[in-house]
Amino acid sequence: MIIADRKPLQEIQEMIKPYDKVMLVGCKGCVTVCNAGGLKEVQILASTLRIARKKEGRPLVVEERMLERQCDPEYIEQLRDSYDQYDAVLSMACGVGPQFLSEAYPSQRFFPTVNTKFMGGAVQHGIWEERCAGCGTCIIHHFDGMCPIARCSKSLQHGPCGGSAGGLCEVSKEIVCIWDLIVRKKIEQGRLDDLRKYWAAKDWRTARDGGPRKSIREELVK
């Protein structure tokens, strides 16, 4: 799923400073699962914003809403009747949400309240890690189910670099050297010869480097 973190409160407050009545829209997709923009987070942020503004003597009306998903026009449509009754709309979805909202309702102003970070999963309760860089050409089967593109700080296809020490990446002691894990697994399974193979330079056109991407499923297009 897509992992996001809520923006610092101050930054959100700064965004909506000129407004007195806003709608805060959560999403039941990824951000609900990663506890960044689900119902609970919408409620917490809404009350925090209200309390803070009340203290300033300039009360803020915050309407709380939840959408099934903000990456689907069908659900975005559900705000058609209400979007223009507010000075601004805050989205708690990933970066897709505020953009789909803006596209559907060009006259309204939309603000992101989370920073969208990566594609990954929960490794333990409250901790999420990146697993996929969305490069568009999956090669994890060559590396025993571990992606060096997303998980090596240098995206090396022929690692580990000289900075790997004690199973950790040179960049930070918080980062596991994925190449260390790949090599150890190959040695354990007696398949070290796999790592004698040379991989040609990657074609990055399928990644973001080829420009913004699109996926067309012909059979679904009417």
Partner 1 sequence: MSENGYKSGSNLEKVLKAGHFAFTGECGPPKGANVAHLKEKMEPLRGMVDAINVTDNQTAVVRMSSKAASCLMVQAGLEPNFQMVCRDRNRIAMQSDILGASALGIRNMLCLSGDHQSFGNHPESKNVFDIDSMQLIALVKKMRDEGRFLNDEEIDEPPKLFIGAASNPFGDPVDFRVYRLANKIDAGADFIQTQCIYNMPRFREFIKRAVDMGLTEKTYILAGVTPMKSAGMAKYMARSVPGMDVPADLIKRIEGAGKGKMAEEGIKFAIEQIQEFKEMKGVAGVHLMAIEWEHKVPEIAERAGMLPRPKVD
* List of residues contacting partner 1 (CB under 8 A): 153-167, 170-172, 177, 180, 183-184, 187, 192, 195-196, 198-202, 204
Beta carbon of residue 63, minimum distance to partner 1 (angstroms, whole number): 37
Nearest to 139 by CA among 162, 161, 158, 166: 158
Tell me how far apart the alpha carbons of residues 53 and 51 are, in angstroms, rounded to a whole number.
Answer: 5
β-sheet with 110-112: strand ranges across: 61-67, 21-27, 88-91, 110-112
Beta carbon of residue 147, minimum distance to partner 1 (angstroms, whole number): 14
**Cβ nearer to partner 1, comparing 73 with 167:** 167
**Cβ nearer to partner 1, comparing 28 with 186:** 186
Beta carbon of residue 117, minimum distance to partner 1 (angstroms, whole number): 16
**Cβ nearer to partner 1, comparing 9 with 139:** 139
**Cβ nearer to partner 1, comparing 68 with 194:** 194
**Cβ nearer to partner 1, comparing 200 with 221:** 200
Beta carbon of residue 158, minimum distance to partner 1 (angstroms, whole number): 4
**Cβ nearer to partner 1, comparing 10 with 172:** 172
Beta carbon of residue 51, minimum distance to partner 1 (angstroms, whole number): 35
β-sheet with 114-124: strand ranges across: 2-6, 114-124, 127-132
Beta carbon of residue 146, minimum distance to partner 1 (angstroms, whole number): 14
CA distances to 12, 93, 109 from 100, in Å? 20, 10, 12
Position 58, amino acid: R
Tell me how far apart the alpha carbons of residues 163 and 110 are, in angstroms, rounded to a whole number.
Answer: 43
Q: Which residue(s) pair with 119 in the sheet?
A: 2, 132
Whose tokens are 């297009």? That residue is: 221
Hey, which bits of 28-161 come out as E strands?
61-67, 88-91, 110-112, 114-124, 127-132
